[in-house]
A and B are shown apart, each in its own frame.
Chain A
Amino acid sequence: MAKKTPEINASSQADIAFLLLVFFLITTTMDVDKGIQRRLPPMPEENQQEQDVKINRRNIVVVKINSQDRIMVGTSPAEVGEIKDKIVEFLTNPTDDPNMPEKETKFIEGLGNYPVSRGVVSLQNDKGTLYNTYIQVQNEIVRAINQIRDQFAQEHYGKKFAQLDEDKQKIVKEAVPQNISEAEPKDVKGKK
């Protein structure tokens, strides 16, 4: 009988694989970038530059940040923490105040008629504003809108917005639109 070939010792295979594994573990960057997503308005055409969309004064709330990072919401100064509630109150207009945004009854597929707020948040900043402050304010505005969406989702579907399926999220987004306008910087308009 021929002598059996001894089995090749495979125990070091694991070590080799581990070595490679460690290498890739270290080089992997798993960090997913997160942030605040925005859509910029398209650049106006040369000939229609002055043709701004007329928005009723009551439908617009101006959030201003000056070069000292002081914040104004509407006509009164505010701290970062106060912005959210002010925006929520403005956009939902619970008392149907004539100085706050009107509501337009809109037909939304899958929901029916719903009074959609026409409120727009206009964000204006100075050249000297800190980026950090700007992001904080953006964040607060998004937080306000998310709160309204959550509330809406809770009332209509009994769930939070994030837990709804895609179709329902679309409905909620239509009922509570995210209308943030960023003002045209003044000096850029003059130059070009």
Chain B
Amino acid sequence: MGRFRKGGKKQAPAISTASLPDIVFMLLFFFMISTSFRQTDKLVTVKLPAATENVKLERKDLTSYIYVGSPIPAKQAQYGTDSRIQLNDSFRTVTEIRDFVAAAREALAEGDKEQMTIAIKADENVRMGIITDIKQELRRCSALKIMYVARQK
């Protein structure tokens, strides 16, 4: 048989695709690990303000989010368009932040409690009155490490 092929061009052997699944699996595991499912539905529309001197939020697991903004259109009939505070997945008042912070702190390991961060995701069009109220409440329950989440300009 080989005799016949002698004269013709030698064909390049097919590239083995046996390792392709391995590569794909590697990618798969990476994304599986880095995935975090969104736990809360947003009830407020937030367009973050832009800033240039941003720092990265470290330790996402130690962070609790406070959303501030105007309710989403579907909720506006019920709640109006005034800025509201969203904690977890419902609208809350400023005084309820205390319980929210206490619960978040309770969930952390003893050594991490100091590092707990509150990230404020507020719409750029909210007024400072509501933000100041939140800040005062956070000071009262000594959650002093905060971050104003912003877009990169």
Contact = CB atoms under 8 A, between A and B. Distances in A.
B54 A131 contact: no
Nearest to A184: B136
B128 A135 contact: no
A35 B57 contact: yes
Interface stretch (A10-18, A48-56, A89-97): A10-18
Given A29-B36, A125-B132, A35 B150 contact: yes
Interface residues of B, number: 54
B148 interface: yes
Given A10-B18, A28-B34, A130 B125 contact: yes
Specify the main secondary structure of chain A where it touches its partner. mixed
A40 B127 contact: no
A36 B55 contact: yes
Interface stretch (A107-115, A138-146, A168-176): A138-146
A28 B31 contact: yes
A134 B55 contact: no
Given A125-B132, A185-B132, A38 B146 contact: yes
A86 to B, nearest CB: 16
Given A14-B17, A126-B128, A130-B127, A33 B149 contact: yes
Given A17-B21, A34-B152, A35-B119, 6 more contacts: A29-B35, A33-B147, A34-B54, A35-B147, A41-B139, A41-B144
